[in-house]
Amino acid sequence: MAADVVVLGLGYVGLPLAQEAVRAGLSVIGFDVNEGVIEGLNAGRSHVDDLADADIASMVASGFRATSDETEIAQARAAVVCVPTPLSEDGGPDLGAVMSATRTIARNLQPGMLVVLESTTYPGTTDEVVRPILEEGGLSAGTDFALAFSPERIDPGNPTYGMKNTPKVVGGLTPGCTERAVQFYGHFVDTVVPAKGTREAETAKLLENTYRHINIALVNEMARFCHELDIDLWNVIEMAKTKPFGFQAFYPGPGVGGHCIPIDPNYLSYNVRARLGYPFRFVELAQEINATMPAYVARRAQDILNEDALALRGATVLLLGVTYKPDIADQRESPAVPLAKQLRQMGADVQFHDPNVETWKVGDDELQRVADLDAALADADLAILVQNHKSYDTEKLVAGAARFFDTKGVTTDAEAHRL
């Protein structure tokens, strides 16, 4: 039976998309190269934060199926690519998964199909990398099949904005491709916004994430000198935030994490440098500032212990929250890892607690979450709040710790040191 859509890559991005399409009554197939993922999904098990097992079970009950049989793609009216785009060794984008997924579609491409790339990438990818692969079989994009780029805007753990109510930007190779993609997403997304073309849609995503990256770097740099000047930056931000126009609040922290913010702006700076030969200075500066935050936090930890005539070497430091965002289990690119490495390098005994993580990998070591949070707090020379999960009662944590360093600005207790 023909499917309305096949989603390639069933992770944090592909699964919510598949779920929303199923909810809208479309017939959806999920294609992935990971057999474990396929087995789990078909058995009703979720492996991403935003979907519960019950959500997967209900998708399966509505006809959703996961498969590794690529020939099923030939039966679909649309194919959406949601595979990872990590950074390669040289700092450029690794398009290996995108090219491999595109080849999979190319081998099964049928006239009239719509192909959409959602993976975050540098401008030009859809036209210069994806299109030629798809056209290898003799069909032409824009005439025989439709091709578009639509940036994914999923915000894992966000209780307000999900797939359906977050406006979706789509840019086609031709106006006809855009129209086709707008129509497709219109089935399950409230607002679809047509871009001028694929490059504009690709660059819009990078602008969004670069904007965030740069503004976080701005407050991270301010955090350092405000501390030296004895100015409470958290209060400064609260004050600035009262301006109803022209200001958006960003907050400092122990570094940036996740699959997007620390990585995506590099696609743009890499591309600008490779094509035009000059740097995208804002991105490079932001990268430098944000990347040094874990080391800065480690130094501040040393200073806090020093005030009490203690050394970081030999001290027990308890890290609270090691995921890259609150209330999720995703640890990708979490700044807690470089922080732990730095603290260990300086001689500290690092322990951790996170309600969502039982074992945590730091370098080659697997650390076990402390068994008893209260006891570990009482025993540690210093506790550092790295991620503020909802289940943390921070005032209670401060009260139970010998010394408390709050990198998220959530404590009001005068006893706590704030970033």
Ligand X SMILES: NC(=O)c1ccc[n+]([C@@H]2O[C@H](COP(=O)([O-])OP(=O)(O)OC[C@H]3O[C@@H](n4cnc5c(N)ncnc54)[C@H](O)[C@@H]3O)[C@@H](O)[C@H]2O)c1
Provide the phi-psi class of 314: left if phi over 0, else alpha when psi is between -120 and 50, else beta: left
Contacts of 222 (CB under 8 A, 6+ apart): 233, 236, 252
Residues 102-141 that bind ligand X (CB under 6 A): 104, 119-120
Beta carbon of residue 399, minimum distance to ligand X (angstroms, whole number): 35
44 vs 84, beta carbon nearer ligand X: 84
Which residue stretch of 148-156, 183-191, 248-256, 355-363 sits at the interface with ligand X (rule: CB under 6 A)?
Answer: 148-156
Beta carbon of residue 182, minimum distance to ligand X (angstroms, whole number): 20
Phi and psi dihedrals of 330, rounded to 5?
-70, 125
Cβ-in-10-Å burial (0-12, 13-18, 19+) of 69 comes to exposed
Beta carbon of residue 75, minimum distance to ligand X (angstroms, whole number): 17
120 vs 220, beta carbon nearer ligand X: 120
Tokens of 343: 């603290």
User: Please, which contacts does 11-14 make with residues 24 or more away whose CB atoms are closer than 8 Å?
Assistant: 11/37, 11/48, 11/82, 11/84, 12/48, 12/49, 12/50, 12/154, 12/156, 12/259, 12/330, 13/82, 13/118, 13/119, 13/152, 13/154, 14/80, 14/82, 14/83
User: Please, which contacts does 176-181 make with residues 24 or more away whose CB atoms are closer than 8 Å?
Assistant: 176/142, 176/146, 177/114, 177/141, 177/142, 177/146, 177/147, 177/148, 178/148, 180/114, 180/146, 180/148, 181/114, 181/116, 181/146, 181/148, 181/150
Single-letter amino acid, residue 223: A
Residue 93 binds ligand X (CB under 6 A): no
Round to whole Å and give the CA distance between 45 and 295: 38
Round to whole Å and give the CA distance between 15 and 49: 11
120 vs 394, beta carbon nearer ligand X: 120
Which of 80, 10, 17, 69 is closest to 45 using CA atoms? Answer: 10
Beta carbon of residue 374, minimum distance to ligand X (angstroms, whole number): 33
Beta carbon of residue 163, minimum distance to ligand X (angstroms, whole number): 11
| Member of 3, 29, 95, 154 binding ligand X (CB under 6 A) | 154
Residue 33 binds ligand X (CB under 6 A): yes
Which x/- pattern, by CB under 6 A, does the window 253-282 give for ligand X?
Answer: ------xx----------------------
Count, residues in the chain: 419
Taking CB positions, which residue lies at the least distance from ligand X? 11
14 vs 194, beta carbon nearer ligand X: 14
Residue 31 binds ligand X (CB under 6 A): yes
Residues 6-25 that bind ligand X (CB under 6 A): 8-14
Query: Which residue(s) pair with 359 in the sheet?
Result: 368
Which residue stretch of 151-159, 226-234, 381-389, 408-416 sits at the interface with ligand X (rule: CB under 6 A)?
Answer: 151-159
| Member of 123, 156, 172, 255 binding ligand X (CB under 6 A) | 156
Beta carbon of residue 81, minimum distance to ligand X (angstroms, whole number): 8
25 vs 91, beta carbon nearer ligand X: 91
**Is residue 260 among the annotated active site residues?**
yes
Residue 37 binds ligand X (CB under 6 A): yes
Residue 84 binds ligand X (CB under 6 A): yes
21 vs 301, beta carbon nearer ligand X: 21
Beta carbon of residue 135, minimum distance to ligand X (angstroms, whole number): 19
Which residue stretch of 28-36, 193-201, 226-234, 333-341 sits at the interface with ligand X (rule: CB under 6 A)?
Answer: 28-36
Residue 221 binds ligand X (CB under 6 A): no
Residues 386-415 that bind ligand X (CB under 6 A): none
Round to whole Å and give the CA distance between 198 and 257: 27
Cα 404–chain centre separation: 28
15 vs 315, beta carbon nearer ligand X: 15
Residue 92 binds ligand X (CB under 6 A): no
Kindly list the distances between the CA atom of residue 207 and the CA atoms of 120, 212, 214, 252, 268, in Å, as whole numbers in the listed order: 11, 9, 10, 20, 9
Residue 218 and residue 208 in contact, taking contact as beta carbons nearer than 8 Å: no
356 vs 411, beta carbon nearer ligand X: 356
Choosing from 82, 177, 226, 260, which is the catalytic residue? 260
User: Which residues are known to be catalytic?
Assistant: 260
Q: Which residues lie near ligand X (CB under 6 A)?
A: 8-14, 31-34, 37, 82-85, 97, 100-101, 104, 119-120, 152, 154, 156, 259-260
